[in-house]
Structure 1
Amino acid sequence: MAAEYILEMKDITKRYGENTVLSNVSLKIRPGEIHALLGENGAGKSTLMNVLFGMPVIHATGGFSGEVLIDGEKTVIASPHDAMLKGIGMVHQEFMLLPGFTITENIKLNREITKPNIMSRIFGSQMESLDMKAMAEDARRALDSVGMGISEYTMVAGLPVGYMQFVEIAREIDKQGVKLLVFDEPTAVLTESEAAQLLKVMKEIAAKGIAIIFITHRLDEVISAADTITILRDGQFVASCPTAETNAVRLAEMMIGRSGGDGEFSLVTAEPREFAADTPIALKVSHLAVDMPGEVVKDVSFNVRQGEIFGIGGLAGQGKIGVPNGIMGVYEASGDVEFLGQKVKLNDARAALSDGMAMVSEDRRGVGLLLDESIEDNIVFNAMQINGDYTKKFLGATQKDTKAIRAHAEEMIRELDIRCVSSLQHTGTLSGGNQQKVCIARALTMHPKLLFVSEPTRGIDIGAKKLVLETLVKLNRELGMTVVMVSSELMELRSICDNIAIVSEGKVVDVLPVNSSDADFGLAMSGIKPERGGEAHEQA
């Protein structure tokens, strides 16, 4: 008789030295089930998956206690290859593809199909030729199963990130004997339409009897796709329940271990304000165009008043991310931008920083951080380079003021609750949420009068999201800092902004107060300016 559970992990405990990162955690997955695994960064999800896949980091640090059962039988998973042989696969958040190979070659990597030839008949099977036709046929079937019409002979190099994610999935589906797939933040890099397609594919995979562990921070996707949910917090099991018996608010409460003052968790942290007509304009953008691949800005105009939290929203790829990148000189831009009444020199990042503007980039790993450098060096980097801060003269030479740097970094670590061992820890070893906080600390160290934050909560857990948003409100309310927030999360924009510009096809469709109707926002995001009396936000 078949076992009820394809996978059982019982009372898993893992320690690194004196630090217990998992304490008696259990997980049960049924065949054909989509099982969401939720928790803040640092909750223990990654460590639990490292145990499941037999990762070297687990075995090299004393192993773990507890049991792993597959199809009801106790098993030992010695390595990731052993996990694959036992029918367990993973779709990684960080792509594991070889760019110089075709899609077919990536899908069949280490599982190539060969055929005999003259040499193999003489010298043995190791001399057989690759059966490219058979491999391409397998790849085509796998691609069709995930709804990808792209040619199986296409090179991976240059593919959009969304396509690469689906190639990763196709590779796992192609493996024989797959019983369980782990999807680790699979929609983090996808557009909304791609994410919807991926959830559809996940359900089709599950319908074939393959179980899925779905790790994500997006609670709406969990409610939409998962059958069952398990929540971890601080390395401990919190709850496991059918999705039908809970909701996003309750899940958020369980994940972070606290709720709002009225008993419900909420990201709302600021009341929107109306600004008098004579409030000075902090930022005036006129006919801005930005040549940013995938986020081209064609003709954007808007005003941001001093002391305002101004939002820029819109669907993925419509140009919203290009706006701050163009103004801050990251990508080539044209048009007119005035900051505090002075014309901004475009295409000059140093000038933008010197003018009193700072930016937290949406690409914290690629642009925002020096991953191999310490937290403290990351925090003060721009201030040292642009303003000459945190330096001192010694024998006529300019040197880093290490004492001042460390004191400031430790203050920022405390204020932003950056979870780390010390200010000397390499930034690349931090969780996504803590890396984002380091980006914010670096921007704040410039003492800007205006702060751009681009996708500040992307890829971080709900507790970190709340802290990031509260930090922005605090900077605005207590220090009077003008904030421009670009985000794909309309709910988050509406939670702290005063007004929101919606960008579609590289242009501002409308600027709406946050209390506008869902219908107005929906129309604007579709490129349609709703009919209504009066203008929401005067564009001088």
Structure 2
Amino acid sequence: MAGEDHVLSYDGVGKEFFGNRVLKNVTFKLGKGKILGLVGENGAGKSTMMKILFGMREISETGGYEGKIYFNGKEINFQNPMDALNAGIGMVHQEFSLIPGFTATENIMLNREITKTSVLSKILGQKLSTLDRPQMQKEAENAINSLDVKISPDMLIAEMPVGHKQFVEIAREIDRSQVQLLVLDEPTAVLTESEAEILLKAMKRLAAKGISIIFISHRLQEVIEVSDQIIVLRDGEIIKDISGGTVSIKEIAEWMVGREVSGRKEKRESAIDHNQDLIMEVENLWVDMPGELVHDVSLKIRRGEILGIGGLAGQGKLGIPNGIMGLFPAGGKVRYDGADLPLNSAKFALDTGLAFVSEDRRGVGLLLDEPIYWNISFSSMQVQQKYLRKVLGGLILWRDEKEMKKAAQEYIRALEIRCTGEKQKVRELSGGNQQKICLAKAFDLNPRILFVSEPTRGIDIGAKSLVLEALKRYNRENNTTIVMISSELEELRAICDRIAIVCEGKIAGILHPSVDAMEFGLLMAGVKAEGKKVNNHA
């Protein structure tokens, strides 16, 4: 297994967390300059495989792992991620690890700054050397240019659209001179189609230079297109280890979930009466959200409908719910159930029956170091005083943890959240299961309008259908109005009554989900579609 023609080898690797077996006898080899596509449902063990490779603390703190790992023919057992980085292994995580107040150059060169000597440093020591900013910028530009993207090295991370942040993350890793293996965890999840295509081409160029890549993704077509080797993981075991380009999406999906997966998404037949009353009217909304500016959005939302909002990354679709919910500065007019809704107040929005599942689940949606049951019930407890018992005639409010845990157990069953129990910390869950926690948290508020932003981002093919079905069922059983913002057009077409497309911070048009996909594409590109429109007044 330790042959030097292979950059990386796993030999019988296994891992158990608190009695829960998450990896079983994982064995494979990755050649030099090859791209390995690693796929599997959330909770299948992909993240644990990478945590073991990188020497993450939670592995050693929970008893280590079984088996052996070889890198360049030598057995490794890194004690921390810095050991892995120094050995030549880089990783781009699904959640960004950039410093918002730093420029692209400063993030790419972080901890590897180039300095130049001065008179003072020659006399008093190296600590008084100054940064060689022109040379640092040159290095950063070279890394960015290798990806064939146009990003200013002087631009602050906080001012970038989400796609550019992802490219900066990748540029930072490939700039390391000794990098031999690069792990990319869902790198295209936040990218537009054109940006994803650029990245896939860049991956092939890096592989041609001898850099091996592990590409973790739920976008199976991209995995097939770019991978030399594909590994399918299910319940901690390798189900298939095959050559890339020799299989179909349907085959991979069935191996992942262990059952037949229909390749056709059923279009939703709208049951909404076009004369139904309006629950919300948005007029001339603007939102100052970096990378997702909203300039002038007017929109009418019908009571009990599922309204989809789509569009390319950076065009403003994410800004709409963030502005209405008071998370970013906003102006214009929003009427909710016939009364004006004050903007720029998240508390007021929640108090009046609105709820929001943010696209930034770690930054906005979750208490990562708290247990599942706390995360699900926290907002309901704060906003509605749910799960609070009155003691001494109401002088004291006491948490009813028994009811909190009972509710969490019901959501765990309903959403099929993979965990050891309601007491498990949310940080320990996979990205897809964290997303399900965010949904459960919103459902527990019993909102009248639920804004859901990118609900399937980073979720595997099996869990996607479950989440979409959960939204449909919640809408149907509670008559809750749902506004779903997504980059996945086919998912919007599968569950929405109408779909609004945002382009350059404005509503380019509203179409029925049955309209040909080409017309949606035209709207996204800023070209007026000629097909069957569904306008705000229909």
Same fold? TM cut 0.5: yes
Aligned amino acid, residue 399 of structure 1: W
Would the alpha carbon gap of residues 7 and 340 (structure 1) be closer, same or farther in structure 2, given more than 3 Å must change?
Answer: same
Cross-structure match for 1:250: 251
Cross-structure match for 2:435: 436
Deviation of 1:17 after TM superposition, in Å, equals 4.8
Aligned amino acid, residue 430 of structure 2: S
1:317 lines up with 2:314 in the alignment: yes
CA distance in 1, matches of 2:519, 2:122: 71
CA distance in 2, matches of 1:367, 1:90: 24
Cross-structure match for 2:68: 67
Cross-structure match for 2:419: 420
8 A contact 1:455–1:487 mirrored in 2: yes
Cross-structure match for 1:359: 356
CA distance in 1, matches of 2:429, 2:186: 17
Would the alpha carbon gap of residues 404 and 160 (structure 1) be closer, same or farther in structure 2, given more than 3 Å must change?
Answer: same
1:337 lines up with 2:312 in the alignment: no
TM-score (norm 1): 0.87
Cross-structure match for 2:537: 539
Cross-structure match for 2:239: 238
Cross-structure match for 2:59: 58
Cross-structure match for 1:227: 228
1:507 lines up with 2:494 in the alignment: no
Aligned amino acid, residue 75 of structure 2: T
8 A contact 2:43–2:418 mirrored in 1: no
Cross-structure match for 1:457: 456
Cross-structure match for 1:494: 493
8 A contact 2:285–2:298 mirrored in 1: yes
CA distance in 1, matches of 2:199, 2:468: 28
Cross-structure match for 1:273: 270
8 A contact 2:503–2:526 mirrored in 1: yes
CA distance in 2, matches of 1:255, 1:276: 39
Partner SS, residue 422 of structure 1:
coil
Cross-structure match for 2:148: 147
8 A contact 1:289–1:299 mirrored in 2: yes
Partner SS, residue 231 of structure 1:
strand
Cross-structure match for 1:519: 518
Comparing 507-516 with 370-379, which one deviates more in the overlay?
370-379
8 A contact 1:372–1:427 mirrored in 2: yes
Would the alpha carbon gap of residues 4 and 371 (structure 1) be closer, same or farther in structure 2, given more than 3 Å must change?
Answer: closer
Deviation of 1:109 after TM superposition, in Å, equals 5.2
Cross-structure match for 1:406: 405
Partner SS, residue 6 of structure 2:
coil
TM-score (norm 2): 0.87
Cross-structure match for 1:383: 380
Which has the higher Rg, Structure 1 or Structure 2? 1
CA distance in 2, matches of 1:14, 1:341: 56
Would the alpha carbon gap of residues 403 and 18 (structure 1) be closer, same or farther in structure 2, given more than 3 Å must change?
Answer: closer
Would the alpha carbon gap of residues 57 and 299 (structure 1) be closer, same or farther in structure 2, given more than 3 Å must change?
Answer: closer
Deviation of 1:74 after TM superposition, in Å, equals 4.7
8 A contact 2:35–2:228 mirrored in 1: yes
CA distance in 1, matches of 2:179, 2:105: 19
Partner SS, residue 371 of structure 1:
coil
CA distance in 1, matches of 2:337, 2:371: 34
Cross-structure match for 1:347: 344
Deviation of 1:294 after TM superposition, in Å, equals 2.3
Deviation of 1:401 after TM superposition, in Å, equals 2.8
Deviation of 1:35 after TM superposition, in Å, equals 1.2
Deviations 1:290-335 (A, max 9, x none): 3333222222233333332211111112121222223333334334
Cross-structure match for 1:295: 292
CA distance in 2, matches of 1:189, 1:8: 30
8 A contact 1:320–1:506 mirrored in 2: yes
Deviation of 1:218 after TM superposition, in Å, equals 2.1
8 A contact 2:162–2:291 mirrored in 1: no
CA distance in 2, matches of 1:156, 1:452: 26
Q: Percent identity?
A: 51
Deviation of 1:65 after TM superposition, in Å, equals 3.1
Comparing 478-487 with 271-280, which one deviates more in the overlay?
271-280
Deviation of 1:465 after TM superposition, in Å, equals 1.7
Deviations 1:5-57 (A, max 9, x none): 33222222223353322111122212222111111222111222233334444
Would the alpha carbon gap of residues 174 and 468 (structure 1) be closer, same or farther in structure 2, given more than 3 Å must change?
Answer: same
Alignment root-mean-square deviation, CA: 3.3
Would the alpha carbon gap of residues 385 and 221 (structure 1) be closer, same or farther in structure 2, given more than 3 Å must change?
Answer: same
Cross-structure match for 2:479: 480
8 A contact 2:267–2:514 mirrored in 1: no
CA distance in 2, matches of 1:530, 1:512: 9
8 A contact 1:23–1:235 mirrored in 2: yes
Partner SS, residue 245 of structure 1:
coil
CA distance in 2, matches of 1:136, 1:247: 43
Cross-structure match for 1:217: 218
Cross-structure match for 1:35: 36
Would the alpha carbon gap of residues 422 and 138 (structure 1) be closer, same or farther in structure 2, given more than 3 Å must change?
Answer: same
8 A contact 2:287–2:329 mirrored in 1: yes
Deviations 1:72-125 (A, max 9, x none): x35234344544454333233344556677655655555566788999999999
Aligned amino acid, residue 322 of structure 1: G
CA distance in 1, matches of 2:327, 2:83: 45
Aligned amino acid, residue 287 of structure 1: N
Would the alpha carbon gap of residues 529 and 22 (structure 1) be closer, same or farther in structure 2, given more than 3 Å must change?
Answer: same
Cross-structure match for 1:78: 78
Gaps of 5+ in 1: none
Would the alpha carbon gap of residues 111 and 505 (structure 1) be closer, same or farther in structure 2, given more than 3 Å must change?
Answer: closer
Deviations 1:483-503 (A, max 9, x none): 211111111101111211111
Comparing 518-527 with 212-221, which one deviates more in the overlay?
212-221
Cross-structure match for 1:327: 324
Deviation of 1:241 after TM superposition, in Å, equals 1.9
8 A contact 1:285–1:301 mirrored in 2: yes
Partner SS, residue 244 of structure 1:
coil
Aligned amino acid, residue 357 of structure 2: V
8 A contact 1:320–1:503 mirrored in 2: yes
Comparing 357-366 with 154-163, which one deviates more in the overlay?
154-163
8 A contact 2:161–2:291 mirrored in 1: no
Cross-structure match for 1:528: 527
Cross-structure match for 1:49: 50
Partner SS, residue 24 of structure 1:
strand
Comparing 437-446 with 126-135, which one deviates more in the overlay?
126-135
Matches within 5 A, 1:124-143: 138-143=139-144
Comparing 403-412 with 435-444, which one deviates more in the overlay?
403-412
Would the alpha carbon gap of residues 282 and 231 (structure 1) be closer, same or farther in structure 2, given more than 3 Å must change?
Answer: same
Aligned amino acid, residue 323 of structure 1: I
Partner SS, residue 6 of structure 1:
strand
Deviation of 1:504 after TM superposition, in Å, equals 0.9
